[in-house]
Amino acid sequence: MNAPTIGLIAVVIVFVVDIVLLLGLVVLKAFHRRRTERHELRRAAYVATLSRHLASNEQSDRIDEAAADDDAFIDAVIDLRNVVSGREIETLTGLVDGLGLVKRQEAKLRRRFPLGQRLRAAVSLAEIGDETTAPVLIEHISDREAEIRIQCARGLGRMQNTAGIDAILERLGIEDPWVRVRFADTLIGFGAKATWPLAAYIRVNLGHDENRGVIEAIRVLGTIGDREIGPILSGVLRVASDPEVQLAAIEALGFVGGPMAIPPLDHALRSSDWRLRAKAASALGHIGDPSVNRALAARLKDENWWVRRNSAAALGSLPGGDQVLLATMRSPEQPARDAAAETLADIGTLTAARQRDEAGVATEEDILLLEYVIAGDRILV
Amino acid sequence: MLPEDSKSQMSEVKRVLVADDSETVTTVLVTALELAGYEVETAHNGVEAYEMGVSGRYDLVILDQLMPGMLGLEIIDRWQEEGHQIQTIMLSGVDDERTVVNSLESGAVDFIRKPFRLPELLARVRQRLPG
Amino acid sequence: MIHDILAWAGYATLVYFILMQLYMIGLGLRSGAVMRRIHHLNRFGRVSEMLSSYTSPPVTIVIPAYNEAAGIVASVRSMSIVGYPRFEIVVINDGSSDETLEELVEAFNLEQVRVPYRADIPTAPVRAIYRGRGTVDITVIDKENGGRADALNAGINAARYPYALCTDADVILDANCLVGAMRRVVEDRERTVAVGGNIRPLNGSRVQLGHLIRAEVPKRLVPRMQVLEYLRTFLATRPAWSQMEALPLISGAFGVWKRSAVVAVGGFTIGHMGEDMDLTMRMHRYHIDNKIPYRIVYEPSAVIWTEVPETLRVLKRQRIRWHRGLMTAVKDFLPMTFNPKYGRLGMITWAAMFLFEFLAPIIEIVGWITIPTALALGALNTTTLFVLLALAFGFGLFNSLVALLLDESYGHFNSKADTARLIVMALIENFGMRQITVAWRIRALIGGKITRAWGNMERKGVANLGVEG
């Protein structure tokens, strides 16, 4: 066999492969075309039927058994669950249960493949599973597929199944970053039920695994916002040496609030780390206690851009803060005036000043502010 | 003349415009409202909603905040600016923090958060459209 | 003797093209593996449930605008309802001579404000800054003209959030594009400095009010060829490059950049014809030279749609500009080419850029000269010639078919008409289109002035695009 012959054989092989791909493409497109059209039609029909069930109590249309295996039906149910709430959800659940849909989806999730169907099953169970689904979901919280783990956690959160909290916490420190934040989302959904399990988790795991899970847990506590957790957060802030943990604790304290939160935040406002100062300024703004106005006003002259900006923003939301900001417009330091001017625009003081100016009743402060804003010199090169 | 007019208004069928880009939402609302005895028409984007509202044919408009073309609040602002008196109920998603804040500030808008309870929504509609 | 040289030159040219196609095949297969995950997420379409306001890092959408009065308001409006919990929009009016600024101020009720603007990157002077207090969180920077790169730099300066999505005014964002891109950031917060997106030609598709209703394959040949070309790049090439952590280019139409990293390398380069490739490569170089752990990735689910040139004339200007940008980049980054210090970027993807993109026109010219001559002189074995040509065509077709198959997970172009158009295009693009592109690249190499394409392409404005012929 000589070179040209090998070459010709190669050409034939390549062209055969090409033809196979081409035919495969044509078939695939035809298949998708039919499938999408039908799916959309069925979905719209299901939505219409289900809407009728929701709108009146008469058993108007029966839903075919086949719907239980129909992705279009599941899509319709999930869509409706995101639109209506309250008793309508129970109606939907009742209809779904009647078809044995949940059991079928559980079976699909339990299989090892194909991934597409398993993922769909996980999403369906997350959205419409009932309490009996919880064990399956807990089982698959450690599934090898990240998206399935996420959906299982979501489902447990929606069901408010407290056993799920422990299952999720177990994985918080070892999970991939993306899955970890999604787990945190779910924990937030649990609300107050998750507060003490989270606190216990933090106490046990502080200092381990680079605090990955702990940081997320602190953030969740802050978002849940249970004021009782304040002392625990202050404690964490005091003992933690990892700045990331400190930052998370500061932010959480800002959301949780309470008079006990102010002293540690005030202390953080004077930290040598600009990030802690900046976070503390924001946190104090969230708490809403004007006793810190003085301290924040001092931070308007901070050397760091973020600290100045956050302090101004905080003052903008505190009682009496706007007066502080207006007074700052007389400061000789331009960075301080810039920060104050931004917040004064955000909170509407600038607009009000403009309106007063147009009406001819502008105050001295208004004029000062307006002049600064419309300064003739170019802002920056 | 007036009493006769109001009498005829009371027995006339009320027309509602439902504006939302999600077909699921419009289907649910149309079904529920029609069963409750209203005449319902739909718009699927901001511009459609704005124009249909201006036509003056509707006694009430149920408006979604996030629609392509024009945002719900913007549509209401424009109607007000142009002097149209159009009764509106706004639908806003849970993540629409800014919308809620702004609509509370302007004070003029009745809104319902998504996901909503059908009975509650119907009650609000009935409240706005007596008779 | 001459015969031999000609013959070898001719064969070598063809072997070069086969090697290029084999490289593409390798990338295509690797991309296929990467796309599996995307396939399931795409077919699902439930991405919007996958993000909450709590976890998502806030993003600044940076939109440079020069003489965009026709469509800027519609464009900003449509971008403002992208599915993402926390973001702000910064539009930079780059010294427009039309009413771009006025349109924005009126539509969004903006007022002039003073903010602590951080001029971390030097730019042309900023004249004023405007903000609105309405539903859309929008800031407009009014500055003196400085070009797209300069405008982007000003946008980065003004950004209040740690990540900046740099895009263009005539782009339509898919609702889930930011979610997809920021997911890659969250996956590895410390290291991820940039995420590139998936650009699709908008031409011929049905658009209403700045939103894509239905994607369709353009009827005209010029944009249709680009559809296939973009599919090959964004579905069959970039996923592989990204997985090898050797992505040499993030498109200007969609790039999410970590603000601090952009500032560290000095921002976009002004006056560069390929400022996106330049910034991407400089990011690589900076982080590798300074031994800072980093990653630059590409996200296939971060889809955006944009107008591509409809006519050969406009396409030519664009391609010459691109090739000029490539030339500058090749010169600037020559020390990185085939340099093992830069890992797979230096040894594979950038080396391939140099060999298969930059050198291509030169080698192709050699082929065009030697092959016919050799044939005429009887120096070529016709069988061998046929085999080489057939293989080059067969491999090229394979790459296009792979790209089309990978596109199936997005679910577009399913009508019979669209399918037929794409397949016919895949078959004929090797006859004619390639050759014209080569001619343009030669033109780029030769030099001479080209009109600046930034802002010169006829803009229809996103809101006014309808069904095209």
Give chain C positions within 8 Å (CB) of A29. 408, 413-414, 419
Quick check: C190 contacting A, CB < 8 Å? no
* Least confidently predicted of B91-100, C16-25, C179-188: B91-100
- Whose tokens are 């390798």? That residue is C26
Cα A326 to its chain centre, rounded Å, is 35
What domains are defined for chain B? 14-126 (3.40.50.2300)
Neighboring chain A residues of C54 at a CB cutoff of 8 Å:
181, 184-185, 188, 219, 223
Using CB atoms, pick whichever of A11, A119, A379 lies closest to residue C126: A379
- In which element (H, E) is residue A303 found? none
Question: Residue C364 — pLDDT band, cuts 50, 70, 90?
Answer: confident
Does residue B4 carry a pLDDT above 50?
A: no
Question: C41-55: per-residue pLDDT in tens?
Answer: 666 655 555 555 566
Q: In Å, how far is C314's CA from the nearest CA of chain A?
A: 32
Q: b/e string for B98-110 if b means 16 or more Cβ within 10 A? A: ebbebbeeeeebe
> Searching chain B, which residue's CA lies closest to the CA of residue C54?
B95
How far lies C146's CA from each of A44, C94, C96, C124, C152, in Å? 51, 7, 10, 6, 10
Q: Do A51 and B32 touch (CB under 8 A)?
A: yes
Question: Measured between alpha carbons, how far is C13 from C380 in angstroms, rounded to an integer?
Answer: 13
Omega cis (within 30) before A264: no
| Mean per-residue pLDDT, A250-272 | 93
Which residues on A lie below 8 Å from C188 (Cβ)?
Answer: 177
3-state helix, strand, coil in chain B (%, to 5): 50, 20, 35
Please tell me the predicted confidence (pLDDT) of residue C424.
92
pLDDT of residue B129: 84
Q: How high is the mean pLDDT of chain C?
A: 88
Whether B78 and chain A come into contact, CB under 8 Å, resolves to no
Asked whether the predicted pLDDT for residue A267 surpasses 60, the reply is yes
What confidence tens digit (pLDDT) does each residue in A147-164 have? 899 999 999 998 899 999
Is the per-residue pLDDT at A354 higher than 90? yes
Determine the pLDDT at residue C135.
Answer: 74
Candidate ranges B97-106, C10-19, C440-449; pick with highest mean pLDDT = C10-19
First to last CA, chain A: 73
Which of C110, C114, C182 should one mutate to test binding to chain A, selecting the residue with the greatest count of A CBs within 10 A?
A: C114
**Which tokens is A342 given?**
């931004």
User: Which of C78, C135, C210 is closest, CB to CB, to B98?
Assistant: C135
Neighbours of A305 (CB within 10 A): 16
Listed residue (C78, C82, C86) closest to C60, CA to CA: C86
Boundaries of every domain in chain A? 68-159
**Would you say B121 and A84 are in contact if contact means Cβ atoms under 8 Å apart?**
no
Instruction: State mean pLDDT over A342-366.
Output: 93
DSSP bridge pairs for C140: C91, C130
Tell me how many degrees the CA angle C265-C266-C269 measures, rounded to the nearest 5.
110
CA distance A313 to chain C (A): 12
Query: A55–B118: do the CB atoms touch at under 8 Å?
Result: yes
Residue C460 pLDDT level (bands cut at 50, 70, 90): very low
Task: Kindly list the residues from chain B whose CB atom is less than 8 angstroms away from the CB atom of residue C85.
Answer: 95
Q: Kindly determine whether residue C408 and residue A22, on different chains, have CB atoms separated by under 8 Å.
A: no
Q: Which residues of C touch B97 (CB under 8 A)?
A: 53
Local confidence band at B5 (pLDDT 50, 70, 90 cut-offs): very low
| Interface check C188 vs A, CB under 8 A | yes
- The string of DSSP codes covering A188-255 is HHHGGGGHHHHHHHHHHHTTSGGGHHHHHHHHHHHHHT-GGGHHHHHHHHHH---HHHHHHHHHHHHH
Which of B21, B95, B117, B118 to mutate to test binding with chain A, by most A CBs within 10 Å of its CB? B118
Q: How far is CA C49 from the centre of its chain?
A: 28
Per the CB < 8 A criterion, the answer to whether A347 and A321 are in contact is: no
Q: Would the pLDDT of A246 be above 90? A: yes
- Rg (C-alpha) for chain B, rounded Å, is 14
Percent of chain A at pLDDT > 70 equals 97
Q: Token digits for C3?
A: 């015969």
C137 touches chain B (CB under 8 A): yes
What proportion of chain C, given as a percentage, has pLDDT over 70?
A: 92
Any idea which residue has 């092989």 for tokens? Answer: A13
Whether C136 sits inside 8 A of B66 (CB atoms) is no
Which of C46, C183, C423 has the CB atom closest to A178's CB atom? C183
Which of A252, A197, A204, A202 shows the shortest CA–CA distance to A224? A252
Residue C385 scores a pLDDT above 90: no
CATH fold group of domain A68-159: Leucine-rich Repeat Variant (1.25.10)
Q: Please list, in sequence order, all residues whose beta carbon lies within 8 angstroms of the beta carbon of residue B1, skipping any fewer than 6 positions away.
A: none
| Contact at CB, A14 and C415, closer than 8 angstroms | no
In the structure, what pLDDT confidence band is assigned to residue B99 with cuts at 50, 70 and 90?
low
B95–C85: do the CB atoms touch at under 8 Å? yes
Q: What is the pLDDT of residue A33?
A: 87
Local confidence band at A298 (pLDDT 50, 70, 90 cut-offs): very high
- Site of tokens 């394979």: C398
How high is the pLDDT of residue C374?
82
Q: Tell me which residue in C53, C78, C135 faces B95 most closely, judged by beta carbons.
A: C53
Express as a percent the part of chain A with pLDDT over 90: 62
Q: Judge whether A76 is closer than 8 Å to chain B, CB to CB.
A: yes
Select from C422, C383, C355 the least CA-distant residue to C16.
C355
Q: Measure CA C327 to chain center.
A: 17
Residue of chain B nearest A83, judged by CA positions: B115
* B65 or C347, greater pLDDT: C347
The more confident residue out of B7 and C261 is C261
Token pair listed for C389: 């040509």
| The Cα angle at residue B114 between residues B110 and B119, in degrees rounded to 5 | 75
The pLDDT value recorded for residue A329 is 92
Helix H or strand E encompassing C254: strand C254-258
N-to-C CA span, chain B:
19
Cβ of C117 within 8 Å of Cβ of A177? The answer is no
Helices (H), C209-307: 221-236, 238-243, 259-265, 275-289
One-letter amino acid at B106 equals S
Q: What is residue C363's predicted lDDT score, i.e. its pLDDT?
A: 87
In single-letter form, the type of residue at position C260 comes to S
Residue A380 is predicted with a pLDDT of 46
Q: Looking at residue C53, what is its pLDDT?
A: 57
- Cα dist from A59 to A55, A56, A63, A345, whole Å: 11, 8, 10, 57
**Closest to B62 (Cα-Cα) out of B35, B92, B82:** B92
pLDDT of C449 reads 54
CB contact under 8 Å between A309 and C46, yes or no, is no
Helix (H, G, I), strand (E, B) or coil at A179: helix
Q: What is the mean pLDDT of chain A?
A: 90
pLDDT digits (tens, 9 = 90+) for A104-149: 889 999 998 888 889 889 988 988 888 889 999 999 999 998 889 9
A270 with A285: CB under 8 angstroms? no
Tell me whether residues A11 and C118 touch, CB distance under 8 A. no
C204 touches chain B (CB under 8 A): no
Share of chain C above pLDDT 90, in %: 61
C109-162 pLDDT, tens digit each: 999 999 889 999 999 999 999 998 877 889 999 999 999 999 999 999 999 999
Least CB–CB distance from C116: residue in A4, A30, A309: A309
pLDDT score, position C459: 41
Reported ipTM: 0.90
Q: Which long-range contacts (CB under 8 A, 24 or more apart) does B84-87 make?
A: B84/B53, B84/B54, B84/B56, B86/B53, B86/B56, B86/B58, B86/B61, B87/B59, B87/B60, B87/B61, B87/B128, B87/B129
| Beta carbon pairs, B and C, within 8 Å | 34
What average pLDDT does this structure show over A18-27?
94
Q: Does residue A78 belong to the interface with chain B, where contact is any CB pair within 8 Å?
A: no
**Average pLDDT of the segment spanning C379-404:** 87
pLDDT confidence band for A194 (50 / 70 / 90): very high
Neighbours of chain A (3+ CB pairs under 8 A): B, C
- H or E segment to which residue B111 belongs: strand B110-113
C387–A4 CB contact, under 8 Å: yes
pLDDT at C370 over 70: yes
Please give the pLDDT value at position A195.
Answer: 94
Orientation angle between helical segments A364-373 and A334-346, nearest 10 degrees: 100
Give chain C positions within 8 Å (CB) of A8: 383, 387
Residue A303 has pLDDT above 70, yes or no: yes
Q: Which tens digits make up the pLDDT trace of C404-421?
A: 999 988 888 888 889 999
Give the largest CA-CA distance in chain A: 100
State pLDDT tens for residues C171-226.
999 988 998 899 999 999 999 999 999 999 999 998 887 788 889 999 999 999 99
Q: What angle do CA A267, A273, A276 make, to 5 degrees?
A: 55
Distance to chain A for C340, nearest Cα, Å = 30
> What are the backbone angles phi and psi of residue C255, rounded to the nearest 5°?
-145, 125
A-B contacts (CB, under 8 Å): 57
- Angstrom distances, CA of residue A75 to CA of A68, A127, A241, C212: 11, 10, 48, 22
Binned at pLDDT 50, 70 and 90, residue C442 comes out as: confident
Helix (H) or strand (E) run with residue A157 in it: helix A146-159
| Average pLDDT score over residue span C96-107 | 95
Cβ of C50 and A372 within 8 Å?
no
Statement: residue C458 has pLDDT above 50: no
Asked whether the beta carbons of C6 and C374 are under 8 A apart, the reply is yes
* Residue B10 confidence class, pLDDT cut points 50, 70, 90: low
* Cα distance between residue A198 and residue A175, in whole Å: 16
Cβ within 8 Å of A, C 119-138: 119, 122-129, 131, 133
Q: Is the separation of the CB atoms in B33 and B16 below 8 Å? A: yes
Task: Among B45, B47, B99, select the one facing C135 at the smallest CB separation.
Answer: B99
Nearest to C81 among B68, B73, B102 (CB): B68
Cβ contact, residue pair B118, A54, below 8 Å: yes
Q: Is the pLDDT of residue A259 over 90?
A: no
- Using CB atoms, list chains with 3+ pairs below 8 Å to chain C: A, B
Q: What's the CATH architecture for C22-57+162-348?
A: Alpha-Beta Complex (3.90)
Q: What is the pLDDT of residue C48?
A: 52
CB atoms within 10 A of CB B78: 14
Per DSSP, the residues of C135-190 read: SS-EEEEEE----HHHHHHHHHHH--SSEEEEE-TTEEE-TTHHHHHHHHHHHTTT
pLDDT of residue B105: 58
pLDDT the model gives residue C464: 36
DSSP B9-28: HHHSPPEEEEE-S-HHHHHH
Cis peptide leading into B115, omega within 30 of 0?
yes
| Residue environment code for C395-432, b if the CB has 16+ CB neighbours within 10 A, otherwise e | bbbbbbbbbbbbbbbbebbbeeebbebbbebbeebbee
Contact: B69, C210; criterion CB under 8 Å? yes
